[in-house]
Structure 1
Amino acid sequence: MSLVLVVDDEPDLEALILQRFRREARDGRLAFHFARDGQEALERLDAAPETALVLADINMPRMDGLTLLARLQEMPDPPATVIVSAYGDMANIRTAMNRGAFDFLTKPIDFADLEATMTKTLRHVAERRAAEARRIAAERAHAALARYFSPNLARQLADAERSLDLGGQRRDITAVFTDVADFTALVEELAPAALAGLLNAYLSGITDIVFAHGGTVAKVMGDGMLLLFGAPDEQPDHAARAVACALAIDAFAEAFRAARAAEGTGFGATRIGLHSGPALVGDFGGGRHFDYTAYGDTINVAARLEAANKALGTRLLASASVAARIPGFQGRGVGELLLRGRTDAVAAFEPLTSDRAASPAFSAYVGALTQCRVDPAAALEALARLAATGDALASFQARRLAAGGDGPIDLR
């Protein structure tokens, strides 16, 4: 129903309008309020801000139509105004149009002309308000989605014209888990304000990296994050994106840690686990809030690999499922891992940058692992030399070989 406010001091006009539009009023399409001057009109609008159309005479006591029009234009969402005046008062009508009136009518009023003008004006108001509602909804959606998705994707998802299904879907994705070592101890040490600033700077830096690689921030769990690649948009190269992102996060996190150490704050290393496979992804917010996330064994394995870094001395671990999806994958083999909650072993790799993959240390590590069964003593010596340089994974492998370890690495 459209609400129309008629502002005119002619005593007979109210009865004429109610009689002329009685059918529209009875059907609930139109409702009319009446005011005798501009001052009364403003009071009516305060009580009924949803008013769509003001039909106002120019010549009225207390506050004339032109003054009322100026006051209406100060409102955040002013109703459309149609000015009514005598035919010979064209100068005032022209002034009204310049000040924002939508249209004008001349007296004596032709009711057929009035009906056509009202229909046209109310259609304009409905279209304008619908467009504004869509804009506000899109801005709100973008604000919510920007927490999860890169800016470009968030704008696409917030666009009412774009149809992208965020409901539950089974997708092939790469899941990435991150976590900061010994963060609980840091929580006990720092003042709340200092901790909030530290954590916000860290998470903001990682989020920027994720978005730059086209990833999705599915969850933030204190200092930990669950990142998704391959959802909601299809990304055939999701594994390669995830590994590139993980390496960038590692570089950022190490620089962040060094900077905090220089300030006297002990910020732990960031551990990262990656696994590719099927997962159920979608908005599982229960209808009350947006919560785009993923469920399934793929997510669990990524989380277990992140935790396995602690035992192995590494910061990044990717499953063989990730490596197999990337042509020319660069990484060091770790071995078969028996992870908590799983019976089958998961082959794991430590992803490397191109510089590290081309280094003599990489070749020495690969050679040592190759020698383990052929010449264990030589392999142990080579691993010990690497361990002496600070290579934590080589140190783990040396200890394992010295203890006669063979077969899957049990981390359960």
Structure 2
Amino acid sequence: MTATILFVDDEPDLEALVLQKFRKQIRDGSVTIMFARDGVEALQSLEQNPHVDMVVSDINMPRMDGLSLLAKLQEADDKKSTIILSAYGDMSNIRTAMNRGAFDFLTKPIDFADLEMTIEKTIRHIEMLREVRRRQTEAERAHAALSRHFSPELAKRLAAGGESEGIEVQWRDIATIFTDITGFTSLVESAPPETLGALLNEYVGGMTKIVFTHEGTVAKIIGDAIQVLFNAPGDQPDYATRAVACAHELDAWAEDFSARWKPRGVNFGTTRIGIHAGPALVGNFGGNRFFDYTAYGDSINIAARLEAANKHLGTRICVSAGIAEAAENFRGRPVGELMLRGRSEALRAFEPLTPAQFAAPETALYSEAFAKMEAGDAAAMPAFAALVGMHAGDSLAGFHLKRLLNGDKGIRMQLE
């Protein structure tokens, strides 16, 4: 580095002497030297030249002495490393200078060999401080980027470990959650901008807070849609269990959110959630200039298809069999074998239920009706009809009843 040094001294011969002694360093560009006659002039010079690296200052000067200057320098945001010059034996001033933050001191008359070594030591100190600040800035920048995707604690760990640690592109087995809101496009077209801004900010903020509570990773937020990953970037052996628990909490929060906004004349719509587990290519796909931690692969597309399947099924949460089988103490009811768009093989899906929902009598009635439908038993239709008669709000039972009335059989179904 080229060190810029400001000498502050009212001795008339000092400038010529310093320029003579440091001519080699000035010539090879390692040092740039400036001069001021007192503390007032020094502060003016520093204001005009904020790139100055260090100050070498005498104590006894007119208008503003060196100790007063030192105090002013320590008050500034950009504190300058300062070497204080003092008459030999003036220990009281030297002690005051060091207490006020001087980096080092030298006695007069100046020993220029000693001064040169002290300046070199100060330059090394400045370089170290710059490196510390650079790393701190990089860490803060990394943390800001990581905080968009990861929980606060995970973001801190990743930022502390370096930008690439744990976020390089790799194949991982993950669980993916997709969420979307019904009727959101209409809401965008009808709601005032200030209402829509407050609405979406509160919604996304609340949803991501829940995701981070479950230590999930927010891969994407596109308008009202949110994509969440588990088991990435770090290992989470219970990732399927986490995903289901997170989905239940997201669903409950979104329903409450919608209810809270309804009295204000906002018909927010229903949040639909799809979950699937499988291998995906995960990591930072933003290149060197951007940070974009996300995932790609067929398993991601399936999760998105399951989210969309809720629209046809009348459910709010739909998960694949892989999630249902891997999640601990999974409670739910079978949806059927779905022929999802873009796939040639059927995917068995389930609707996860809360413990209270699972224990309700209608869940057992649904399971009995579903078993009849799966077996091709003609008694499935009256079983679903009876269930819908008792529980008109059971959209999934109503979906199957409509299928059977239209002549469909079995549990395999084609969804657009």
Structure 1 length normalisation: TM-score?
0.94
Residue 170 of structure 1 deviates from its aligned partner by 1.0
1:287 corresponds in structure 2 to 288
Cα deviation, 1:113-134, whole Å, max 9, x if unaligned, reads 2233223322222222322332
Greater shift in the superposed pair: 219-228 or 37-46: 37-46
2:415 corresponds in structure 1 to 411
Letter in 1 for 2:138: A
Counterpart Cα distance in 2 of 1:46 and 1:297: 59
- Judged with a 3 Å threshold, the aligned counterparts in structure 2 of structure 1 residues 375 and 349 are, in CA distance, closer, same or farther, namely closer
Cα deviation, 1:72-130, whole Å, max 9, x if unaligned, reads 12221121111102124333333322322222111011223223322332222222232
1:211 corresponds in structure 2 to 212
Cα deviation, 1:227-280, whole Å, max 9, x if unaligned, reads 111111121211111111011111111111222223332111110011111111
2:398 corresponds in structure 1 to 395
Counterpart Cα distance in 1 of 2:113 and 2:374: 99
Q: How does 1:79-98 map to 2 (within 5 A)?
A: 79-98=80-99
Counterpart Cα distance in 2 of 1:266 and 1:203: 17
Residue aligned with 1:83, SS:
strand
Report the count of equivalent residues: 412
2:113 corresponds in structure 1 to 112
Which runs of no fewer than 5 residues in structure 2 stay unpaired?
none
Assess if the C-alpha contact under 8 Å between 1:138 and 1:160 holds in 2.
no
Assess if the C-alpha contact under 8 Å between 2:373 and 2:409 holds in 1.
no
Letter in 1 for 2:245: A
1:50 corresponds in structure 2 to 51
Counterpart Cα distance in 1 of 2:114 and 2:323: 71
Cα deviation, 1:14-54, whole Å, max 9, x if unaligned, reads 34333434444444433322222223322332333222211
Residue 399 of structure 1 deviates from its aligned partner by 1.4
- Judged with a 3 Å threshold, the aligned counterparts in structure 2 of structure 1 residues 109 and 373 are, in CA distance, closer, same or farther, namely closer
Letter in 2 for 1:139: E
Residue 163 of structure 1 deviates from its aligned partner by 6.2
2:71 corresponds in structure 1 to 70
Assess if the C-alpha contact under 8 Å between 1:38 and 1:64 holds in 2.
yes
Q: How does 1:140-289 map to 2 (within 5 A)?
A: 140-160=141-161, 164-289=165-290
Letter in 2 for 1:180: I
- Judged with a 3 Å threshold, the aligned counterparts in structure 2 of structure 1 residues 94 and 373 are, in CA distance, closer, same or farther, namely closer
Assess if the C-alpha contact under 8 Å between 2:381 and 2:405 holds in 1.
yes
Residue aligned with 2:200, SS:
helix
- Judged with a 3 Å threshold, the aligned counterparts in structure 2 of structure 1 residues 373 and 319 are, in CA distance, closer, same or farther, namely closer
How large is the Cα RMSD of the aligned pairs?
2.0
Greater shift in the superposed pair: 326-335 or 79-88: 326-335
Assess if the C-alpha contact under 8 Å between 2:177 and 2:229 holds in 1.
yes
Assess if the C-alpha contact under 8 Å between 1:156 and 1:162 holds in 2.
no
Counterpart Cα distance in 2 of 1:359 and 1:339: 30
Letter in 1 for 2:193: P
Residue aligned with 2:379, SS:
helix
- Judged with a 3 Å threshold, the aligned counterparts in structure 2 of structure 1 residues 85 and 251 are, in CA distance, closer, same or farther, namely same
1:31 corresponds in structure 2 to 32
Which runs of no fewer than 5 residues in structure 1 stay unpaired?
none
Residue aligned with 1:344, SS:
coil
Letter in 2 for 1:227: V
Residue aligned with 2:369, SS:
helix
Percent sequence identity over aligned pairs: 57
Assess if the C-alpha contact under 8 Å between 1:376 and 1:401 holds in 2.
no
2:298 corresponds in structure 1 to 297
Residue aligned with 1:73, SS:
helix
Assess if the C-alpha contact under 8 Å between 1:150 and 1:211 holds in 2.
yes
Counterpart Cα distance in 1 of 2:263 and 2:103: 65
Greater shift in the superposed pair: 108-117 or 145-154: 108-117
